[in-house]
Amino acid sequence: MPFKFNGSRRDKFAKAKSRVTNCAEYNEALRQRGDVTVWFSEDDLRASGRLQTL
């Protein structure tokens, strides 16, 4: 099988992980990029009438 040909050498290196060292700068970059995640609690959504329960 061709996918098993390099099986012994596959995944020997750990994937690079980046760590945020400057949170304020990172948050500003996300804001400028337009990618900001906002979490609302279910209680807040219920109070505003926007949460629909099944």
SS3 per-residue string spanning 1-54: CHHHCCCCCCCCCCCCCCCCCCHHHHHHHHHHHCCCCCCCCHHHHHHHCCCCCC
49: containing domain? 19-54
Tell whether 49 is covered by a domain.
Answer: yes
Tell whether 30 is covered by a domain.
Answer: yes
Domain count along the chain:
1
According to the model, what pLDDT value does residue 7 have? 73
pTM for this entry: 0.31
Tell whether 7 is covered by a domain.
Answer: no
According to the model, what pLDDT value does residue 15 have? 72
> pLDDT in tens for each of the 54 residues of the chain?
666 777 777 777 777 777 778 889 988 887 888 766 788 888 888 888 877 765
CB 11 within 8 A of CB 5: no
